[in-house]
């Protein structure tokens, strides 16, 4: 079997997760990594993800079949200039950035369009850095591909198969369409989440009452405000026109809602929340939608020492794997204080039956 050689320039949360997913699925794989952070290189080597780490972009990348550009977008210019002389004609060059227009224009200017396929895994976390990467991050996530017009169909198909091997779902889009779509479903929401955090910070009392009692709803809607400020600064500076266009629409809709709220327009206010609920629920129920369906139950337990451990142990003894578990210290919009998420519907059902047989009240997620 021929060894597949893949290079990574930058190895953060997304690059690390891609590397780990590929290492899991491809037996004969050699990964070469360059990163400016020596701790990252050392950890990737220690974990067996990086077979070779290098201190710069050099001839180590010559034999790579694929090279992933995973460094911050602001570094792409200099990295590409250094990489150009070490890029073999058979190598497919790709990136993982959430904005595509800039990188496509760079590839065209450098004459690399024929071997570039833009990539954007629609997966992430408010945490960042290689230390938080994991192979499962890409599982069942859309992985958008933005090939140039000059890319041969065989090269695109080979890369599409590589994405599938990561456990992700490839979706081919024009790069301009990609930037508008991601501005709507990713970039603007991050701005809104951060602005809500600022609103509470600026409106809170001196004793921090708002911060102290902020509950599930506020935490859910602002979770992404904990993401890397460096990354989101760059996104805002590189997808500015699309974000501004959608931000204008959003401000218009808020002003319209403000008028209806001022007028105490009962019918419009009800319809506003009703239609939003229907549309978002359609995301959750569609297995291919942007919000993946989760398999979870809520258990009514006393919030005391040992309660969580008892349930986790009971499920483990019955061979049930838990994807995520957490205690809600308020019971807002749910019955029960413990939410358990599983990897599949069957596991959730079996877990519910086991816990109910032991007298635990169970509430299945609707």
* CATH code of the domain containing 349: 3.30.70.260
Q: What percent of the chain has pLDDT over 90?
A: 53
Q: What is the pLDDT of residues 26-55, one digit of tens each?
A: 989 999 999 999 999 999 999 999 999 998
Residue 287 located in a structural domain: no
Q: What percent of the chain has pLDDT over 70?
A: 90
Q: Are 257 and 327 contained in the same domain?
A: no
Residue 20 located in a structural domain: yes
The domain total for the chain is 3
Residue 282 located in a structural domain: no
Single out the residue in 143, 173, 203 at which a domain terminates: 173
CA atoms within 13 A on the CB side of 302: 6
Residue 267 located in a structural domain: no
Residue 289 located in a structural domain: no
Q: 157-161, 269-273, 306-310, 331-335 — which is least confidently predicted? A: 331-335
244: domain CATH number is: 1.10.3660.10
Q: Are 107 and 44 contained in the same domain?
A: yes
Residue 324 is part of which domain span? Answer: 295-364
Q: Are 13 and 154 contained in the same domain?
A: yes
pLDDT at 289: 47
Instruction: Average the pLDDT over 344-354 and give the result.
Output: 88
Q: Are 308 and 228 contained in the same domain?
A: no
Q: Are 27 and 149 contained in the same domain?
A: yes
Higher pLDDT, 293 or 338: 338
Single out the residue in 120, 155, 173 at which a domain terminates: 173
Q: Are 90 and 32 contained in the same domain?
A: yes
208 pLDDT higher than 50:
yes
Residue 268 located in a structural domain: no
Single out the residue in 173, 203, 227 at which a domain terminates: 173
Instruction: Average the pLDDT over 105-110 and give the result.
Output: 91
214 pLDDT higher than 90:
no
Residue 290 located in a structural domain: no
Residue 272 located in a structural domain: no
Q: Are 185 and 133 contained in the same domain?
A: no
User: What's the rounded Cα separation, in Å, for the pair 205 and 123?
Assistant: 36
pLDDT bucket at 332, cuts 50 / 70 / 90:
very low
Q: Are 122 and 20 contained in the same domain?
A: yes
Q: Are 206 and 346 contained in the same domain?
A: no
Q: Are 168 and 194 contained in the same domain?
A: no
State the Rg of the chain over Cα: 23
Burial bucket for residue 41 (CB in 10 Å: 0-12, 13-18, 19+): buried
Whole-structure pTM over 0.85, yes or no? no
Q: Are 128 and 191 contained in the same domain?
A: no
Q: Are 166 and 183 contained in the same domain?
A: no
93: domain CATH number is: 3.40.50.720
300 pLDDT higher than 90:
no
């Amino acid at each position: 079997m021929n060894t597949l050689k893949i290079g990574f320039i930058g190895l953060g949360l997304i690059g690390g997760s891609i590397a780990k997913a590929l290492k899991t699925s491809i037996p004969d794989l050699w990964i070469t990594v360059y990163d400016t952070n020596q701790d990252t290189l050392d950890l990737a080597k220690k974990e067996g993800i990086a077979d070779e780490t290098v201190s710069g972009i050099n001839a180590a990348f010559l034999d790579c079949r694929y090279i992933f550009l995973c460094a911050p977008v602001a570094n792409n210019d200099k990295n590409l200039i250094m990489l150009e002389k070490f890029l073999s004609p058979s190598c497919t060059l790709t990136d993982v950035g959430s904005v595509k227009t800039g990188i496509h224009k760079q590839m065209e200017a450098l004459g690399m369009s024929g071997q570039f396929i833009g990539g954007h895994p629609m997966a992430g976390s408010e945490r960042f850095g290689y230390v938080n990467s994991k192979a499962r991050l890409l599982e069942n996530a859309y992985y958008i591909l933005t090939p140039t017009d000059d890319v041969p169909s065989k090269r695109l198909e080979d890369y599409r198969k590589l994405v599938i091997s990561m456990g992700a779902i490839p979706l081919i889009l024009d790069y301009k369409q990609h930037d508008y779509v991601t501005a709507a479903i990713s970039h603007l929401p991050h701005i809104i989440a951060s602005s809500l955090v600022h609103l509470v910070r600026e409106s809170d009392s001196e004793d921090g009452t708002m911060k102290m009692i902020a509950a599930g709803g506020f935490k859910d809607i602002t979770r992404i405000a904990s993401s890397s400020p460096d990354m989101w600064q760059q996104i805002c500076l590189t997808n500015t026109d699309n974000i501004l266009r959608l931000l204008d629409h959003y401000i218009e809709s808020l002003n319209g809602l403000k008028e209806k709220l001022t007028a105490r327009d009962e019918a419009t206010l009800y319809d506003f929340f009703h239609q939003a609920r229907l549309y978002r629920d359609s995301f959750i129920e569609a297995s291919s939608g942007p919000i993946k369906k989760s398999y979870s139950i809520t258990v009514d337990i006393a919030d005391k020492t040992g309660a969580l451990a008892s349930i986790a142990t009971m499920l483990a003894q019955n061979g049930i794997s838990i994807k995520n578990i957490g205690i809600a210290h308020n019971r807002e919009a749910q019955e029960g204080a413990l939410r358990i998420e599983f990897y599949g519907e069957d596991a959730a059902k079996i877990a519910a039956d086991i816990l109910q047989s032991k007298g635990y009240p169970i509430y299945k997620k609707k």
